[in-house]
Chain A
Amino acid sequence: MEERVTETQVLIIGGGITGTALVRELSKYKVDVCLVEKEPAVGFGISKGTQGVLHGGLSLFSSRLVKWFDRSIDVATYIKTPLHLKEKFNIIGRPIFLELESKLNVKIKKTGIIQFAYDKAEMRAFEIIKEKAEELGFTDIVLLDRNQIRDLEPGIDMSKRVGGIYDPNDYVIVVPEWCMAFADNAKQNGAHVLVNTEVTGIEEKKGYWLVKTNNGPIKAEFVINAAGVHSDEIAAMVEKIDWAYVLFDHTFFVLENKGYLKHMIFEMPVPFEPCLMIPTPDGNILGGVTMYQHKIEEKNDFLTTRQGLEHIIKIPESFIPDVPWRKAIMRSFRAYLMFNTRDMDDMLLYWPRERFLNMITCAPGIAPSAGLALEVVKMLRDKGLDLTEKSDFNPYREDPRGFIDLPTEIKNAKIEANPAYGHIVCRCEKGTEQEVRNAVRAGARTLDEVKFRVRTGMGRCQGGFCTSRVLQIMSEEMGVSPLEIKLKGGNSYILKQETKELRAKGEAV
């Protein structure tokens, strides 16, 4: 099933939200486009650990507050500075996501956002934000007092919080799902998406780029660097870069949501520690600190720590004290946000070479990806790439899951035609055998990718019931023994060997 691509017109390096949004956009045109991703699936890099917020009027500016609000700078002045590139693209990009929800069959959850103030100074800063947001067309933002907040979210402890600001129009997605949706749709429309393909070197040739990968070299007219946290390494392959990445980490709990929270809630009681609780599209809550001030050195350091977990559980406990959060823990993870040292406020978008484009993204980067995609198409056209629209572009992608939520008649018709839909293999999330098969047919080769497509393994039991069954189905569809199936990238094989193998060989460990 793995195709070989040796030549393309536009080569995108990186299958995160930025790269996949772009490959889908380019697949609307009669141009040969190829995306390479080093992990076994798109969305498995830094996109995997993001909180998934599609920022809007309020949260866009909250992002500004997050980074710079140490209460010593003049907030009013800072808020009124011109929009950054990433903010511009965010404003363009978010409506595109909203429009694509039904076309690509990926979930978006409308959560709104409430941000809390601990003192009058913060309330004043909120007023300035509200003004600025209104200038940009976000007119539904309101300031709230204690009682109004209690009406919206009765569980929140308002004893130390004096009030807040509320934007009903904020949204949350699960980013890897969107990466997969973008990539699937791009593939439907003729784009190439190669996973397990890592760029090892780039050479400038006369009239083209030679991009070396672990699966052979690819000739490309244009190269787009959308490699997320590795984009500095890719950029360094063609130029001496004068910037580096600074990484800020966050640790989050995935918590059960038994009606505890409806809206996204956010505050920064301690400078540089923005606390967040997000109701997710899958019915859970993400709770934690969105970025720590301290920097982490190792790009692959996704380790949670005891101190980190002990610190983070206090966030939901402080927001909503009456819920036994410690008993509602489903999972915890750690990931990070990145910023570049040339401009800590913004992303970088520039051509270090003719026909080599750097998309050096930063946080927030999700909604901007759709806006950036449009911009890059323009930029490519300006550089002379002939982009004629396809008349037969198909913007629709089938729902990879959600079988269980269909009306009974449709369910039963599908089961009648295909009994594998009637076999539920995931007790917690109700994923069916056929949906697992479909996921493999759409390209999933790892348990994690099946998890993001079908939600098997994402529920309360975290794979206790479904793992055995999903491995069996994947093994059948992939035509390999379950011993060859991995959890995610690298060496993450799930099983070691057959029972009896050691004894039959007369060996023991």
Chain B
Amino acid sequence: MSVKEVICILCPFGCKLEVNVGGGEVTEVKGNRCKEGIEYARHEVFSPERVLTTTMRTLNPKAPLLPVRSDKPLPKGKLEESMGVIAKHTVSAPIQLGDVIVSNILNTGVNIVASRSMAKKS
């Protein structure tokens, strides 16, 4: 049995939730003002996820970075390693918004896609 503290981000109240965890399950949530908070707490305790947005180096000196994003939320614990993977990539034009640049990063089932189109410059 353990108690985890989670701040709910679903609305400006920002309820500070006390989440009791036991046997791999959420047994109780305290401090919430609505029921959506309970579901959020469960998700955040067991599988916290974050959308990763960052940049990737390009070969174009006039536009040295391309904004990229994960097409789905990544497990929170994989963010730093993903950044390392992305840092080792470079892209070159032409790129369309949504193009997959890194497929199934770190075997998470999440792709890193282009967040912007980049035309080939003459």
Residues in B whose Cβ lies below 8 Å from that of A1: none
Q: Is the CB of A503 within 8 A of B55?
A: no
Closest CB of chain B to A87's CB: distance in Å?
57
Chain B residues, Cβ within 8 Å of A499: 55, 65
Interface centre among A499, A500, A503, A506 (most CB of B within 10 A): A500
**Is A504 a contact of B65 with CB atoms below 8 Å?**
no
Contact for A504 among B55, B80, B88, CB less than 8 A: B88
Contact A503 B57 (CB under 8 A): no
Q: Is the CB of A506 within 8 A of B84?
A: yes
0/1 string, B74-85, CB within 8 A of A gives 1: 000000100110
For residue B87, CB closer than 8 A to chain A, the reply is yes
CB-CB under 8 A from B83, the residues of chain A are 503
Q: Tell yes or no: B102 within 8 A of A by CB.
A: no
Interface status of B86 (Cβ within 8 A of chain A)? yes
Chain B min CB distance to A202 (Å): 47
CB neighbours of A503 from chain B (8 A):
83-84, 86-87
Residue among B55, B80, B84, B88 with the highest chain A CB neighbour number at 10 A: B84
Contacts of B2-41 to chain A: CB distance below 8 A: none
CB distance from A172 to the nearest CB of B (A): 42
Closest to B87 in A: A503
Residue of A nearest to B88 (CB): A504
- With a cutoff of 8 Å between Cβ atoms, the chain B residues found around residue A508 in the complex are 80
Complex interface residues of chain A between 473 and 509 (CB less than 8 A to chain B): 499-500, 503-504, 506, 508
Q: How far is the CA of A506 from the CA of B80 in the complex (A)?
A: 10
* B84 partner residues in chain A, CB cutoff 8 A: 503, 506
How many interface residues does B have (CB within 8 Å)?
Answer: 9
Chain B residue numbers with a CB within 8 Å of A500 are 55, 57, 87
Contact with A along B84-101 (1 / 0, CB 8 A): 101110000000000000
SS of B interface (majority): helix
Count A-side interface residues using an 8 Å CB cutoff.
6
Chain B residues contacting A506 (CB-CB under 8 Å) are 84
A499 CA / B68 CA spacing, docked (Å): 14
A-contact bits for B39-66, CB 8 A (1 contact / 0 none): 0000000000000000101000000010
Q: What's the least CB distance linking B112 to chain A, in Å?
A: 14
Nearest-neighbour CB distance to chain B for A504, whole angstroms, equals 4
Instruction: Report chain B residues within 8 Å CB of A504.
Output: 87-88
Q: Give the docked Cα–Cα distance between A10 and B88 (Å).
A: 56
What is the CA–CA distance of A275 and B86 in the complex, to the nearest angstrom? 58
Minimum CB distance partner of B80 in chain A: A508
Q: How far is the CB of B53 from chain A (nearest CB, A)?
A: 14
Closest to B82 in A: A503
C-alpha spacing A506/B83, complex, angstroms? 9
Contacts of B87 in A (CB 8 A): 500, 503-504
Q: In the bound complex, what is the Cα–Cα distance between A258 and B80 (angstroms)?
A: 51
- Could you tell me the distance between the alpha carbons of A26 and B80 in the complex, rounded to whole angstroms? 62
Q: In the bound complex, what is the Cα–Cα distance between A508 and B80 (angstroms)?
A: 10
Q: Smallest CB–CB gap between A497 and chain B, Å?
A: 13
Per the 8 Å Cβ criterion, residues 48-71 of A in contact with B are: none
Closest to A505 in B: B87
A146 CA to B87 CA, complexed, in Å? 70
Q: Which residues of A contact B88 (CB under 8 A)?
A: 504
Alpha-carbon distance A493/B57, docked complex (angstroms) = 23
B55 contacts across to A, CB distance below 8 A: 499-500
For the complex formed, measure the closest distance between the CB of A474 and the CB atoms of chain B, giving whole angstroms. Answer: 16
**Min CB gap B76→A, angstroms:** 16
CB distance from A80 to the nearest CB of B (A): 69
B118 → chain A, closest Cβ, in Å?
Answer: 17
Give bound CA distance, A504 to B84, whole Å.
6
Q: Which residue of A lies closest to B65 (CB)?
A: A499
Residue of B nearest to A504 (CB): B87
Cβ-closest chain B residue relative to A503: B87
Q: Which residue of B lies closest to A500 (CB)?
A: B87
Chain A residues numbered 422-444 whose CB sits less than 8 Å from any CB in chain B: none
Min CB distance, B61 to chain A, in Å?
Answer: 11
Q: How far is the CA of A249 from the CA of B22 in the complex (A)?
A: 67
Give me the 10 closest cross-chain CB pairs, A-B, nearest first: A503-B87, A504-B87, A500-B87, A503-B83, A500-B57, A503-B84, A506-B84, A504-B88, A499-B55, A499-B65
Seen from chain A, the residues whose Cβ lies within 8 Å of a Cβ on chain B are: 499-500, 503-504, 506, 508
Having A503-B83, A503-B84, one finds 10 other A-B pairs with CB under 8 Å, namely A499-B55, A499-B65, A500-B55, A500-B57, A500-B87, A503-B86, A504-B87, A504-B88, A506-B84, A508-B80
Please list 13 pairs of residues, one from A and one from B, whose beta carbons are closer than 8 Å in the complex, sorted by A's number.
A499-B55, A499-B65, A500-B55, A500-B57, A500-B87, A503-B83, A503-B84, A503-B86, A503-B87, A504-B87, A504-B88, A506-B84, A508-B80
